[in-house]
Structure 1
């Protein structure tokens, strides 16, 4: 369960306050893998970071009864001056998992070669995403937050990412952001639509997709 209580988040844009999450009250059920749908700029990545605790809301709070990953594919979870390996070992200690096991898993999965032992500031955006995805998949979370990460890398790496994520979904749930409706249909069984700062939950994924498409049509 993830519950939002009076959650609000805004940004200053060209001297004006833009509200992306507007006094949100909602509860996301346990055991569901949710597609998070919304137009570009609706605040999907912002909401994911607030759920993970990597961004503070203006007001309100998020309550959960399980463990939640950081947003997979978001490099802000790592220290740019540490190497990939050092970042992984640091995260292992924070989450109380075996340091060597996690390091071995990420080294094998992320396929960063010598860059694994180089500072994160030397990484490309894709390399950071692979490191983040591999590290999060190496830790068993109750809920994974995933933002377009299966689009990273070549075809072989994308297939490997899908396989390990499918394995994790046998025991965990997820909140996914992805513009590929096929992937959302593959991994998700319900949906939430973020529109003008408000969130609507649909127990049926196809109904969520239909609402999102209606929202998109209204602005064309």
Structure 2
């Protein structure tokens, strides 16, 4: 169960304050895969970071009664001076997972080869995303948070990633921000529509997609 209680979040850039959420209260339905749809800048990625704990709300509180992944592909938590393997071991220990097993899984799945022995600061954006995505799948969570990451890598890696993610679904749930309606239909059954005029929950994913289409 994930609950948001009167959550507010704003950012400041070049002297301009942007209010992303203002007193948002919402309980994510249990045992459902939830899509987050909305135009760019509506707050989808911000909401995922708040849920994961990567960022804190300005006011309000978030209750998490489940284990959550970081947003899949989010590499902001890496130590750039440490190698890929060192980062993997650090994360594995943080989540109480067997570090050797996680290293083996990530090495095989990420296809990063000898690059895992290099400092992460030398990685391209795509390499960092591959590493973060592979690490997420190597650890079991109640909820996997996804932020447009299903498009990472070449066609072969994308196909492998989709298969691996679907294999998690019998035991885990998803909260996914995406602009791909095919991915939303395939993986989600309900969702939130984030728009400049407000935030609405749709119990049926097709109703969500239709409402999103009317924004354009």
- Which TM-score applies when normalising by structure 1? 0.95
Task: Report the counterpart of residue 105 of structure 1 in structure 2.
Answer: 105
| 1:182 and 2:182 matched | yes
Aligned-partner Cα distance in 2 for 1:195–1:25: 16
| 1:22 and 2:33 matched | no
Once the two structures are superposed, residues 31-56 of structure 1 have per-residue CA deviations (whole angstroms, 9 ceiling, x without a partner) of 11111101001111111111110111
Runs of 4 or more consecutive aligned structure 1 residues displaced over 6 Å after TM superposition: none
SS at match of 2:145: strand
* Counterpart mapping for 1:53-68 below 5 A: 53-68=53-68
| 1:117 and 2:88 matched | no
1:203 deviates by 1.1
1:199 deviates by 2.9
RMSD: 1.1
Whether the 8 Å CA contact 1:191–1:209 is kept in 2: the answer is no
Once the two structures are superposed, residues 112-171 of structure 1 have per-residue CA deviations (whole angstroms, 9 ceiling, x without a partner) of 111111111001111111111100001110000011111011111000000100001111
1:89 deviates by 0.4
1:69 deviates by 0.5
Aligned-partner Cα distance in 2 for 1:201–1:138: 31
SS at match of 2:24: strand
Task: Report the counterpart of residue 206 of structure 2 in structure 1.
Answer: 206
SS at match of 2:70: strand
Q: Report which stretch shifted further, 198-207 or 20-29.
A: 198-207
> Unaligned regions of 5+ residues in structure 2, if any?
none
- Which TM-score applies when normalising by structure 2? 0.97
Once the two structures are superposed, residues 86-119 of structure 1 have per-residue CA deviations (whole angstroms, 9 ceiling, x without a partner) of 1110011010011100000000000111111111
Aligned residue pairs, count: 216
1:13 deviates by 3.3
Whether the 8 Å CA contact 1:129–1:152 is kept in 2: the answer is yes
Whether the 8 Å CA contact 1:188–1:205 is kept in 2: the answer is yes
